[in-house]
């Protein structure tokens, strides 16, 4: 009996890519909203909104391991995506009506943080990884990961366009409408996948996989490095527009810079994924983190101009999410693909904790001193820490996997 034309894994691939484009693109746009929302709710202070965004980052990281485990054992990824998309849209609607700092914390920080965990990259990689043909799985996972870059390329400039033409609260309602589209895309993906999402071939339990990870030192070194990844990128994407405004540039150039980061990130991520198949992934990651710090140092100490912003965005974008396929590849190499979502989610937690601290403290330092200068030096130093953390990593699979035929 032939398969119905709508039951097609390519439909799942397309809709999962669009979902991460919307979800990730929305989170990457918060830096554009920092200025108008702060001016409206906490005039003269950026720390309240910075805290709300950083809290969202932390809650996403804390929630993802549990959300992934719940989806694996009970609900399934499609229902989790539906729940995540619905709550995310609701959080944005509540943000549009916010008038106090508490409203910001609850809408952007708590509700949207919980929701984003349900429709983020670990959940989507899990869906696509199960329906993808074996020989194309790596390519398909790379396409979905690049969807986040698409969010930076298209959704961030679109939100910048909206902010130039309407009040921030009206722009947020349009963002909420985009997010709500995640729900029908998830439902259609569930129908298109057929029974693929329910097929399990590995008899290992989640508890056994977690014990393996707990005993593996290289896994924890990798998590330390991923902490620094979040520490660096979340500061840049959230505070770069305000930093540029403080130094005399407008909001538009900040939006353009974030979009340019997304554009060059496509190239960097693709190259990193290809190189990861030929060279040691830990060595590539060390080079990426050192490269980030050198790019940030050059940008910080050089005279600021429109051209220097574009050069910085292009270079840092090339190194932006290039860490993701390499980090995910190491985790899969350590433990195998069965519980990839959960084990990657734990590493992702360290990434989000780093992003939380950096985003929040960046705002605190800015309000206390009137500039971001002191925090830039700490961000730059983080790359050296990440490189050192990756040096002792052993890429050999855990003993159980290494001895399997």
The full DSSP string for 342-399 is HHHHHHHHHHHHHHHHHHHHHHHHHHHHSSSHHHHHHHHHHHHHHHHHHTT---SPPH
In a domain, 21, yes or no: yes
In a domain, 138, yes or no: yes
Give CA–CA dist 23/84, Å, rounded: 10
Going from the C-alpha of 76 to that of each of 59, 79, 83, 181, 188, the distances in angstroms are: 21, 6, 11, 19, 14
Q: How big is the chain, counted in residues?
A: 405
In a domain, 405, yes or no: no
Q: At 76, which helix (H) or strand (E)?
A: none
Query: Can you give the residue range of the structural domain that contains 123?
Result: 9-198+206-397
Nearest Cα to Cα of residue 351 among 88, 1, 62: 62
In a domain, 129, yes or no: yes
Tokens of 259: 């979009």
In a domain, 371, yes or no: yes
CA 24 to chain centre: 6
In a domain, 403, yes or no: no
In a domain, 356, yes or no: yes
Find the angle CA(237)-CA(238)-CA(244) to the nearest 5 degrees: 85
Give CA–CA dist 335/339, Å, rounded: 8
Residue 227: helix, strand or coil by DSSP? helix
Find the angle CA(359)-CA(365)-CA(370) to the nearest 5 degrees: 125
In a domain, 3, yes or no: no
CB proximity list for 237: less than 8 A, separation 6 or greater: 28, 31, 258, 261
Give CA–CA dist 326/287, Å, rounded: 12
pTM for this structure? 0.75
Per-residue pLDDT of the chain in tens (405 residues, 90 and over written 9): 455 565 788 899 899 989 999 998 888 788 889 889 999 999 988 888 988 988 887 888 788 888 888 887 778 888 999 999 999 999 999 999 999 999 999 999 999 999 988 988 888 877 887 787 766 666 677 778 777 777 777 888 888 899 989 999 999 999 999 999 999 999 988 888 765 555 555 567 778 888 888 889 999 999 999 999 999 998 988 888 888 888 877 667 877 887 788 788 888 877 887 787 778 889 999 999 999 999 999 999 998 888 999 999 999 999 988 888 788 778 877 887 677 778 888 898 898 889 889 988 998 999 899 889 999 999 999 999 999 999 999 988 877 654 453
Q: What is the pLDDT of residues 80-113, one digit of tens each?
A: 999 999 999 999 999 999 999 999 999 999 999 9
Mark 366-388 as b/e (b = at least 16 C-beta within 10 Å). Answer: beeeeebeebbeebbebbeebbe
Q: Which CATH number covers residue 139?
A: 1.20.1250.20
Total number of domains constituting the chain: 1
Torsion of CA 100, 101, 102, 105, to 10 degrees: 130
Please report which residue ranges of 167-280 form alpha helices under DSSP H.
168-180, 182-193, 206-215, 217-246, 251-275
Q: The dihedral of CA 324, 129, 273, 312: what is its sign?
A: negative
Give CA–CA dist 295/108, Å, rounded: 30
């Amino acid at each position: 009996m032939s398969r119905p034309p709508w039951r097609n894994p390519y439909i799942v691939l397309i809709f999962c890519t669009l979902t991460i484009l919307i979800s990730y693109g929305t989170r990457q746009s918060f830096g554009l909203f920092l200025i108008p929302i702060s001016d409206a709710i906490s005039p003269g202070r950026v720390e309240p909104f910075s805290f709300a965004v950083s809290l969202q980052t932390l809650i996403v990281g804390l929630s993802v391991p549990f959300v992934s485990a719940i989806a694996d054992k009970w609900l399934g990824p499609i229902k989790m995506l539906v729940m995540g998309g619905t709550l995310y849209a609701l959080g944005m609607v509540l943000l549009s009506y916010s008038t106090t700092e508490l409203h910001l914390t609850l809408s952007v920080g708590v509700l949207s943080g919980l929701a984003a965990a349900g429709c983020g990259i670990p959940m989507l990689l899990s869906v696509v990884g199960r329906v993808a043909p074996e020989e194309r799985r790596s390519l398909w996972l790379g396409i979905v990961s690049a969807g986040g870059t698409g969010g930076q390329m298209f959704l961030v400039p679109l939100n910048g366009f909206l902010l130039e033409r309407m009040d921030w609260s009206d722009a947020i309602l349009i963002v909420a409408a985009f997010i709500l589209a995640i729900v029908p895309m998830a439902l259609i993906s569930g129908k298109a996948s057929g029974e693929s999402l329910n097929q399990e071939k590995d008899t290992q339990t989640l508890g056994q996989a977690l014990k393996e990870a707990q005993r593996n030192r290289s896994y924890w070194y990798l998590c330390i490095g991923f902490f620094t990844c979040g520490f660096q990128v979340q500061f840049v994407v959230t505070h770069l527009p305000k930093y540029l405004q403080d130094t005399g540039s407008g909001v538009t150039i900040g939006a353009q810079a974030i979009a340019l980061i997304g554009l060059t990130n496509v190239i960097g991520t693709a190259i990193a994924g290809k190189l990861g198949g030929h060279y040691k992934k830990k060595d590539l990651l060390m080079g990426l983190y050192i490269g980030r710090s050198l790019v940030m140092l050059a940008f910080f100490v050089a005279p600021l101009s429109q051209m220097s912003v574009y050069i910085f965005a292009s270079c840092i974008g090339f190194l932006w999410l290039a860490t993701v396929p390499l980090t995910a590849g190491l985790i899969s190499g350590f433990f195998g693909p069965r519980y990839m979502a959960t084990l990657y989610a734990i590493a992702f937690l360290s990434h989000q904790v780093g992003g939380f601290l950096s985003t929040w403290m960046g705002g605190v330092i800015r309000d206390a001193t009137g500039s971001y200068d002191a925090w830039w030096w700490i961000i730059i130093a983080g790359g050296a820490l990440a490189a050192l953390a990756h040096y002792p990593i052993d890429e050999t699979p855990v003993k159980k996997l290494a001895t399997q035929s």
